[in-house]
Structure 1
């Protein structure tokens, strides 16, 4: 059904999503104490998409199309815009630092669609080898919220999805999350990010090559920049509900309910 598809994507105010699901031993703790790193990130409303970063990514891609269409003037104009947008993105509070090994590659994401194994915190071995210890500055350029594979459209859940779409249309990511959580809708979040310094270097190189009339090489440099995209994924079903936290703060959460939620988050 359509509900299985993306609830919303691209250029909406998004929350930085990272962290782990509940541990099994949290099932007997008060819900108010069950705060994961992901919950903290959402509560702080950090890591929104970078408008300048997103614009730079579009300009980069359009510059490649202009090169393909043998329109060097347009390519030069677009690459200049991409450079300006990336320069602005460097001061954007949406930029965050994280080890590349903690993110997923496009190949990882494609494979996870077949294996249903795109879990938060999964490690990209190749990236880990290249960047085991260092952290990289990433600029978020796109985000997507998708429903879990086991979603069944009941009237309540369908209504929650519709309300979440309305919240996302207004840029209210936190409101969308809360609406879906209260309806017990399994949600995944995916944020597309680019390495800021590496992307800037690739775009600057492409601009130089375009200025020299080396369009094939410029296109290759821009492709390298696009291929640097990585993805941050979280299963939001692991986030505690605020409503439950208020009612259960003084007593342990029921074993059966918490266990079912935790098991689902830890797939």
Structure 2
């Protein structure tokens, strides 16, 4: 059975795709988290913003605890390279645990895993199967962003014919995903991975595809006119019949790519490349 990745790549074993057991406001119903300490936001580290910790928790059906006696979960802020001294709240939580209460202590990494969208939620938002799906997706992304991406892993997702023109899709792995006839005009796809993905007939006109990996992807009849492909990888990609007119491919890697029948009028090709 094909496997997919967990919501955030933290080294966990991917789980097999299955029917959702609870999505969005249902998913964390009954969860009450007590936060303690001074949390620091960082684009370089695995740290959380208040918007992710609190607003996202509420949107997913959970609540923020005010007192240790009400909490089902506890997350304490920890500073790197600083000796940890338990806060009063954490001491109270430890006392509850010692008495046998079912309270779970989470690291910020585990909290992130809990609060980021699941595969099923991501698919529903990006396919427009929920109200304001793209807007909700973008809001979720704005609450968790690091320089290395690290948002969700979506290999094999089916976004056939999806309208993604307003979606924030940078730095997401889409290996073996289905994007045939999807609308991606003008979208910034920086550092995305489309290895072995199906992009037949997809519209990427004017898209920004810096460092995107299209290795062995199927891009037959794709609309790529005017798109920018600086550092993009097309090794083994099938671009037969694709519209690449005016596209910037001068720093792309096209080794082994199939370009028969592709429209290349005005396209900037890598130095030394021969037009088919």
**Which gives a bigger RCO, structure 1 or 2 (Cα 8 Å, sep 6+)?**
1
Which structure is larger by alpha-carbon Rg, 1 or 2?
A: 2
* Larger helix share, 1 or 2: 1
What TM-score comes out, normalization by structure 1 length? 0.22
